[in-house]
Chains A and B, each alone.
Chain A
Amino acid sequence: MDTTAHAPLITQEEPVAAKRPWLFTRPTAKTGLVSWLTTVDHKRVGLLYGFSALFFFLVGGVEALFIRIQLAVPNNTFLQHQTYNELFTMHATTMIFLAVMPLSAAFFNYIMPLQIGARDVAFPRLNGFAFWVFLAGAIILNVGWFIKSGAPDSGWFGYAPLTSNAYSNQFAGDISTDLWVMGLQILGVSSVIGSLNFIVTIINLRAPGMTMMRLPVFTWMTLITAFLIILSFPAITIALVELMMDRNFATNFFEVSNGGLPILWQHLFWVFGHPEVYILILPAMGIISEILPTFSRKPLFGYPIVVFSGACIGFLGFGVWSHHMFTTGMGTVATAAFSLMTMAIAVPTGVKIFNWIGTLWGGHLQMRTPMMFALGFIWMFMMGGFSGIMHSAAPADSQQQDSYFVVAHFHYVLIGGSVFGLLAGIHYWFPLVFGRKVSEFWGKLSFWVVFIGFNTTFFPMHFLGLNGTAVYDGNMGWNTPNFIATIGAFILGIGIAIYFAVMIYTYFKGQKAGRDPWDARTLEWAIPNPPPEYNFAVTPSVHARDAFWHEKHNREEALTAKAATAHSASAHGGIHMPSQSWFPILTAGGMLIGSLFLANHNYIGAICGGGLTFLGAYLWALEGPGGYHMHPEPEANGKDSPAKH
């Protein structure tokens, strides 16, 4: 695409800007390191999230391979006990908090504002801040690999009293659990801030005519996920605060000898932990709900039902946490109640699956790579759902608790569900983001290798689990299935390697994609690729659900409306753009320093870090939102039309 034709004319809003104190001079670099460190562009923040998440996805994958090597044969000596504990703790923590959640956040950031016809999120600097805070949390969680303490080793659920000073300190000054506490705390701050931003953006920044019931389903799922995050993360924040108080200031929250109840940790953890699994799956469901209609050449079947069942899952998700605790002796009433709620939450989930099947039914299916992953998602997620509904029966669950059956279940919903959905999304939006199309052959090959590897790894675990293999224990005599699972893990690893090798090749050498290569339905496809900084040269006006589809089929009206909007926008001074800022990364840096000192029980350093955070936030406030205006040259009508490719 000819970029010079769209070279925008930048004018500073305030001609007196030079008189601002140097501290508040806004960075204006559009390329290079500074432009990324100070970025407030939701698309760049999305890319930062995406690349970090993929990096940690690979880290978590390598950790999983190490675990599978250890479990390939009985009495293997590949890993030390301590290393094994660290690996299984960090595999889960990394995959959940540093891979799947931020990868979803990458899509929220990049795609959602485009889908609602917005130019950015509601609070652009805060958006950058959420990413830098995420990176700080990721560093804190992983810094243990490089110091004597080692990485966190008490399980991703950190059950009390395993995390108490008495159990988790191998030697004086072992801060691995403190790093885990601070890392998760900081990641929680990032998730909540990011989600508050998305909520305000979706509710307030919709383009004219984009009513709530015209929102693309992915945007709806973003909204529901954001609400789940802001309402569930406080529970783990408090659990972690109490644990931190126990470890740093000798309180008794989980200290059994002084009357503390370790079961309280489980409740607080799962009050967060169960909504969390919906935080992981709902974005993938949203992505699938975009891909299936596009490649079935049909509108989504039962749009309102899909939206409402998403919201219903969100509500019910807060009432099922104790099904993780059926074996703790809660009493029959509580167990029965949570059993029933868990069965109930399968209903809206099943409704969604039927709606997806309804979308496919009678459609003109185009078997492109994103569609392959999406169909894989439906099948694999259903398998995970079936084993999930088996857990809802408390008597059956008490047999399955802590067995490989549970491992099989949650890998089917997390890999077969979330990860397939996210991989589908990467394929689907790759042409939009980078302007190039992935080769169908290599894309499909990676799908099949991933699909086969995944099933070879986790399908045998159903049998292993029901036969009695406990979690984290491969030495009970079920050798063949365990060995097959390890082989499968390597096939899965090769599949993922092919997937990313193809992505990297495509980024540099792939075939150029024209505008709207999939002939899609939502507004993000209405703009050139890669998208310009200001997204929409003219704010779109929306007249129907599947707004872009409607626009493509009502060209005359759309062009007239666009011309009118363009005229009035230009009369109001052009496109308003937010200014870049140094303070998000500086404030996050203060949090990183403070948290590392706090994890090290160095309170002077922690206070200094807190002071830096405060200073950053105050200067951020004084700096003001800033902003400048742009006047992109109007696109020629011919170029504006979504040409057939």
Chain B
Amino acid sequence: MSHAGTIDHHHDATTATGIPNKKLFMWAFLASDCMFFGALISTHLIYRLHPPPGSPSPRQIFSIELTSFSTFILLMSSLLMALAVNAIQKNYLTSTRHNLLGTIFFGLIFLGCQVYEFTHFVHEKGLTLSNSLFGSTFYTLTGTHGCHVAIGVLWLILTYIRSFKPAGADAGRPWLAGAFFHFFIFALTIVAGMATVLSGVHAHLAREPFREFISHNLLAVGTTIVGLAILTYLGRSRGAVEFGEANAIDVESMGLYWHFVDIVWIVIFTAVYLLEYL
């Protein structure tokens, strides 16, 4: 960027307050989202205080080790997100992309753990949305948070793909097609990768030999490997791009959202999980 280093990331001279519009918008939205999660968490806690007879015991259902692990991963993803914001503010494009990918990866681990947790609870522990009040509040609350994480991951992926848009005005149409292809491969690889890991875990628990695991899940494993290869190819540096220090505010707004979703998880982890072990 020609004007690298001249952008003041803490003051926007075009606004009355000096706060960039996008940042202010995101803060106001997060205030709204606080109330959103506040209402859901309150619902959970109210019904925790008034359990109907025959309610399941959460301690018998939870596997706190797994959830603690995924909580740790989600918190670490916030670190990577902060590094990505820092990198783009200094116009380090490669570092930004790597940290975005890291954040996406950690977010996906968290989501994978949640998918595993939900399937495990439904099939092994018999906790469903409708068979108990605890199931209703637990799945709705943690599921809504999961949706927030998923939206965050989607946003990160779209920003990552956008960072490859070439500079110059003549590149619009072919780049757009390429971006959709890039996104499609990303989505495919994530779904296949998650399927691979989940069936890998099940195979491990069932002590299935590795060779059998591969042959049972050839499609998922193959798609994952091919997808990763294509993503690596698409992720190479290709000449000058539009994305740069001027986009730091976009990454920062996304970062605010991501950190907020993490903080909400800390509250949910405490109120839903840890509270049961007091």
* Inter-chain contacts of B55 with A (CB < 8 A): 259
User: Is B167 engaged at the interface, CB distance under 8 Å to the other chain?
Assistant: no
Structural contact, A204 and B16, CB atoms closer than 8 A: yes
Structural contact, B32 and A204, CB atoms closer than 8 A: no
Segment at the A interface, from B18-26, B87-95, B105-113, B115-123: B18-26
* Inter-chain contacts of B32 with A (CB < 8 A): 192, 196, 230-231, 233-234
Structural contact, B158 and A20, CB atoms closer than 8 A: no
5 example contacts (A-B, Cβ-Cβ < 8 A) are as follows A23-B176, A24-B172, A210-B16, A242-B140, A259-B133
Interface size class of B (residues with CB under 8 A): 35 or more
| CA–CA, A239 and B25, complex, Å | 25
| CA–CA, A271 and B43, complex, Å | 13
User: Is B132 engaged at the interface, CB distance under 8 Å to the other chain?
Assistant: yes
Structural contact, B170 and A19, CB atoms closer than 8 A: yes
Structural contact, B39 and A205, CB atoms closer than 8 A: no
User: Is A110 engaged at the interface, CB distance under 8 Å to the other chain?
Assistant: no
Shortest C-beta distance, B56 to chain A (Å), equals 12
Structural contact, A249 and B176, CB atoms closer than 8 A: no
Which chain B residue lies CB-closest to A261? B50
Contact status of A21 and B40, CB under 8 A, knowing A205-B16, A231-B35, A250-B130: no
Structural contact, A206 and B16, CB atoms closer than 8 A: yes
Structural contact, B176 and A230, CB atoms closer than 8 A: no
| A253-269 vs B, Cβ < 8 Å mask (1 yes, 0 no) | 10000111100100010
Structural contact, B133 and A252, CB atoms closer than 8 A: yes
* Inter-chain contacts of B47 with A (CB < 8 A): 259, 261
**Contact among A204, A241, A245 for B19, CB-based, below 8 A:** A204
Query: Which among B21, B135, B179 has the highest number of chain A CB atoms within 10 Å?
Result: B21
Interface residues of chain B: helix, strand, loop or mixed (majority) = helix
499-535 of chain A: CB within 8 A of chain B? none
User: Is B233 engaged at the interface, CB distance under 8 Å to the other chain?
Assistant: no
Structural contact, A20 and B16, CB atoms closer than 8 A: no
| CA–CA, A245 and B50, complex, Å | 20
* Inter-chain contacts of A260 with B (CB < 8 A): 133
Structural contact, A204 and B24, CB atoms closer than 8 A: yes
User: Is A232 engaged at the interface, CB distance under 8 Å to the other chain?
Assistant: yes
Structural contact, A259 and B35, CB atoms closer than 8 A: no
By a beta-carbon cutoff of 8 Å, the part of chain B in contact with chain A is 15-17, 19, 21, 24-25, 28-29, 31-33, 35-36, 38-40, 43, 46-47, 50-53, 55, 129-130, 132-133, 135-137, 139-140, 144, 158, 162, 169-170, 172-173, 176, 179
Which chain A residue lies CB-closest to B155? A621
Shortest C-beta distance, A485 to chain B (Å), equals 38
| A19-45 vs B, Cβ < 8 Å mask (1 yes, 0 no) | 111011000000000000000000000
* Inter-chain contacts of A241 with B (CB < 8 A): 140, 144
User: Is A396 engaged at the interface, CB distance under 8 Å to the other chain?
Assistant: no
Contact status of A200 and B46, CB under 8 A, knowing A205-B16, A232-B35: no
Which chain A residue lies CB-closest to B151? A614
| CA–CA, A233 and B39, complex, Å | 11
The 6 closest A-B pairs by CB, nearest first: A259-B52, A251-B136, A238-B39, A234-B36, A234-B35, A250-B130
| CA–CA, A17 and B24, complex, Å | 30
* Inter-chain contacts of A250 with B (CB < 8 A): 129-130
Structural contact, A242 and B133, CB atoms closer than 8 A: no
* Inter-chain contacts of B133 with A (CB < 8 A): 252-253, 258-260
Which chain B residue lies CB-closest to A245? B140
**Contact among A20, A196, A258, A264 for B132, CB-based, below 8 A:** A258
* Inter-chain contacts of A234 with B (CB < 8 A): 32-33, 35-36, 38-39
Contact status of A123 and B25, CB under 8 A, knowing A238-B43, A251-B130: yes
* Inter-chain contacts of A643 with B (CB < 8 A): none
Structural contact, B136 and A245, CB atoms closer than 8 A: yes
Q: A204-B17, A261-B47 are in contact. List 12 more A-B contacts (CB 8 A).
A: A16-B169, A200-B24, A200-B25, A234-B32, A234-B39, A241-B140, A245-B136, A245-B140, A251-B140, A253-B136, A268-B43, A618-B158
